[in-house]
Amino acid sequence: RYLLYDVNPPEGFNLRRDVYIRIASLLKTLLKTEAWVLVLPPWGRLYHWQTPDIHQVRIPWSEFFDLPSLDKNIPVIEYEQFLAESGGPFIEQVYVLQSYAEGWKEGTWEEKIDERPCIDQLMYSKDKHDYYRGWFWGYEETRGLNVSCLSVQGSASIIAPVLLSNTSARSVMLDRAENLLHDHYGGRDYWNTRRSMVFAKHLRVVGDEFRRKYLQSTDEADRTHYNEDWTQMKVKLGTAIGGPYLGVHLRRKDFIWGHREDVPSLHGAVKKIRSLMERHKLKRVFIATDAIVEETEELKKLLPEMVRFEPTWEELELYKDGGIAIIDQWVCAHARYFTGTSVSTFSFRIHEEREILGFDPKTTYNRFCGAKERNCEQPTHWKIIY
C-alpha cells in the first residue's frame, strides 16, 4: 500500500524535512502489520524559493537527497514511480488532518483521533466526474477519489489504526501532516531517520570543493571523515575540529518583523561575528543568509573577510534554491565554530548535521542575540543515539 503526504503550503524546506521524520515513524509502525511504501512528496513552490525564471515545481527528492540512503531506513519511492506503479494519477483516499475544533483543554494530555466535519474550507474541489482536484505537488492531472477530515491530537503513529482498519484504500494521502507530532523526538528512531537523510552527492561535492578552494577546509584536515553508508558512520562527539573558519546562519527577511526580538541588527551581528573570530583565532567567516542585496552589500563592506557561496545562473538553474540552501548548510556544518539564528529550522538542521559529523556541542549550539536580550543562552542540544 502507498502512503503519501503533504504539508501546509507556507511551511519551508527545513520544517518539511522535520515532518518527513514524523511520517517515517508512522510508516515503521504500519510495516509491523502490512507492506507499505512511502511516496516522497515532490518539492516546489516554497516561500523561500524566490529566484525568478527558474522552474521550481515537481522536483523529485533525488535532486536534494540520496534515495538509497533514505531507503535503508524505510521503503521510499518518488511520485513518478508511484504514478507508474499504481495505474494512473489517482489517490484513493485523502485525509485532511486538523486540530480539534474545541481545542485542547487543560489537564491530562491525551492522544486521540476522530473523523470530524472539516473546520476550514477544503483546498480540494470536485470536478464534473466527481473526482477531487487540488494542488497535488503541481501534478494537475492527479485526482483524489475521496476526501475527508480527521481531527488529530498526538504523535504520528496514532493514525496507524485508521490506515490499517478504517480504510481499504491502496493509496492514502495525509494532507496537513505537520499536525502530527514526533513519536519519539530525539530518540534512536528519530536519529536513524535523520541520519538517513543524506544530502545528494552532487551537492556535497560542490560544497566540499568550495570548502577546499575558498576556506582551506578538507575532511582530512578537519577530521570530518564521511562514510557514504550512514548505517556504518559512528563518531564520537568532539572528534571533528572543522575547517579554519566561522560558520554563520544569519536569518533576515520575514524574521526581521516576525521574530524581531530574536534577530540582531546588521551592525549587532557583525560585532558578534568579529568577537567570535577573535576568540577562536579565525580569519574567515562563511555566511549563509537570506538577506536582500542591499544588506549583503553592507555586510561585505563591514566584513571584508566574509565568504559566501554565490552561484552562477547556470548553477542556480541546475541546483535550484533548495540545492543552494543545502550547499550553504553543508559548508556551515563543517566550520570550526557555528552560530545560528534563534528558532530557525535552517539553523536546527545545521545543528543536527554537525552532531552527525562529530562536533563538540559547544561549537554548534550557539545563536545570535536580539538587541534587547540580556541572557542569550545556547539553544538546547541533545546527544545522538545510535
User: Would you say 25 and 184 are in contact if contact means Cβ atoms under 8 Å apart?
Assistant: yes
Q: How far apart are CA 27 and CA 22, in angstroms?
A: 9
C-alpha cell at 340: 545560528
C-alpha cell at 195: 541520519
User: Would you say 210 and 42 are in contact if contact means Cβ atoms under 8 Å apart?
Assistant: no
Rounded to 5 degrees, what angle do the CA atoms 43, 151, 76 make?
A: 35
**3-state secondary structure (DSSP) of residue 71:** helix
Tell me the catalytic residues: 11
Tell me which residue has cell 523529485: 60
Q: How far apart are CA 266 and CA 269, in angstroms?
A: 5
User: Would you say 348 and 14 are in contact if contact means Cβ atoms under 8 Å apart?
Assistant: yes
**3-state secondary structure (DSSP) of residue 234:** coil
